């Protein structure tokens, strides 16, 4: 099989993964030019596999407790290192990473940052402070934003734009945490800082208990406010991208941002059912992002925002 045939096979496998694992990302990725779209799918394939291996889930669904978390992390680290070294692993998601990392000069250190977030999950880590929460959000999502920025052509020396790409990933993860507080608690995971829980009288409490919904509603509002700050910063970075990439990024920002908005608005009812957006709602947000992408963005300093190492 030729190199082009092999790459096409990897792209097709990545498309199948994203179609099942993240309809929102799939929807927004269609706005990229063909080359960037395929590369984004290749990167997603690896990210999705890392998440699934760590959580014992399938394409982002049905997470279960795993018996060998350390072994799973060791496997991810080894195969990822091989992919960056150009070694043929024979495993589709890692082959996808090998291709996209070589094509876009993605730094291995950023991929290692991403794996560090999964290692925290595997070790049963819980945040104590807001700083802990934000560093975790960077690892599991902000680092992906940085890698995606490289996919979209942002050079490694453009530190500010890369930091703002991380900001968008952080905003996405804050929204996800708000949406999934109860679902995560049911499998023994808590991503809310202990200091926040203590302030609400929830230290050591079962967060899945419906009696705690009013307090969780206040926490969801806090997460949503933080996510807005990081999204505003990310828009400044997005404005520096080619139009189609800018449109895709702003669309993803709008779609994921809607999750945080709804979680905050629903308050104690935010976990009665999973928050989703319909195709029609996504389409409306994409059109809104189109017009947003045409207008100049007022520069916003990153003062006060958490910054990656």
In order of start, what are the domains of the chain with their CATH numbers? 1-124 (no CATH), 126-309 (1.10.600.10)
The answer for residues whose C-beta is within 8 angstroms of residue 67's C-beta and 6 or more apart is none
Mean of per-residue pLDDT scores for the chain: 89
* Measured distance between the N- and C-terminal CA atoms of the chain, rounded to whole angstroms: 41
Q: Is a pLDDT exceeding 70 seen at residue 167?
A: yes
Read off the pTM: 0.90
Q: What pLDDT is recorded for position 61?
A: 42
Q: Is a pLDDT exceeding 50 seen at residue 236?
A: yes
Q: What pLDDT is recorded for position 269?
A: 80
Q: Is a pLDDT exceeding 50 seen at residue 16?
A: yes
The alpha carbon of residue 212 and the mean position of all alpha carbons in its chain are separated, in whole angstroms, by 27
| Token pair of 111 as six digits | 């991929």
Q: What pLDDT is recorded for position 62?
A: 46
Which residues face 241 on adjacent strands? Answer: none
The answer for residues whose C-beta is within 8 angstroms of residue 72's C-beta and 6 or more apart is 53, 54, 66, 122
The answer for residues whose C-beta is within 8 angstroms of residue 195's C-beta and 6 or more apart is 128, 129, 130
| Residues 255, 141, 23: CA angle, nearest 5 degrees | 40
Backbone angles phi, psi at 91, to 5 degrees: -115, 120
The answer for residues whose C-beta is within 8 angstroms of residue 190's C-beta and 6 or more apart is 126, 184, 197, 207
Nearest to 33 by CA among 282, 202, 247: 247
Q: How far apart are CA 122 and CA 74, in angstroms?
A: 11
* Cβ–Cβ under 8 Å, residues 63 and 57: yes
pLDDT for 260-307, tens place per residue?
Answer: 778 878 878 878 778 788 888 888 988 999 999 998 888 889 999 999
pLDDT for 178-215, tens place per residue?
Answer: 999 999 998 888 999 999 999 999 998 899 999 999 99
Compute CA distances 289 → 35, 117, 249, 251, 294, whole Å.
Answer: 21, 30, 9, 5, 9
Q: How far apart are CA 18 and CA 24, in angstroms?
A: 9
* Cβ–Cβ under 8 Å, residues 142 and 308: yes
* Cβ–Cβ under 8 Å, residues 171 and 256: yes
């Amino acid at each position: 099989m030729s190199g082009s045939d092999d790459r096409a096979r990897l792209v097709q496998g990545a498309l199948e993964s994203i179609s099942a694992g993240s309809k929102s990302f799939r929807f927004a990725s269609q706005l990229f030019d063909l080359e960037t779209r395929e590369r984004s799918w290749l990167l997603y394939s690896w990210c999705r596999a890392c998440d699934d291996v760590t959580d014992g889930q399938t394409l982002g669904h049905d997470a279960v407790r795993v018996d060998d978390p350390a072994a799973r992390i060791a496997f991810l680290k080894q195969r990822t290192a091989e992919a960056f070294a150009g070694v043929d692993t024979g495993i589709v998601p890692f082959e996808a990473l090998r291709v996209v990392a070589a094509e876009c000069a993605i730094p291995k250190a950023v991929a290692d940052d991403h794996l560090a977030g999964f290692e925290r999950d595997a070790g049963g880590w819980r945040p104590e402070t807001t700083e802990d929460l934000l560093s975790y959000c960077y690892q599991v999502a902000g680092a992906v934003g940085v890698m995606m920025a490289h996919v979209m052509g942002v050079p490694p020396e453009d530190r500010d734009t890369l930091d703002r790409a991380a900001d968008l990933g952080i905003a996405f993860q804050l929204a996800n945490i708000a949406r999934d507080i109860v679902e995560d608690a049911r499998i023994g995971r808590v991503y809310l800082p202990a200091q926040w829980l203590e302030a609400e009288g929830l230290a050591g409490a079962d967060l899945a208990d419906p009696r705690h919904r009013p307090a969780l509603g206040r926490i969801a509002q806090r997460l949503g406010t933080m996510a807005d700050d990081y999204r505003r910063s990310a828009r400044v970075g997005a404005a520096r991208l080619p139009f189609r990439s800018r449109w895709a990024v702003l669309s993803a920002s709008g779609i994921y941002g809607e999750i945080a908005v709804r979680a905050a608005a629903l308050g104690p009812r935010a976990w009665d059912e999973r928050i989703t957006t319909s195709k029609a709602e996504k389409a409306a947000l994409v059109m809104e992002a189109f017009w947003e992408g045409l207008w100049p963005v007022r520069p916003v300093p990153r003062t006060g925002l958490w910054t990656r190492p």
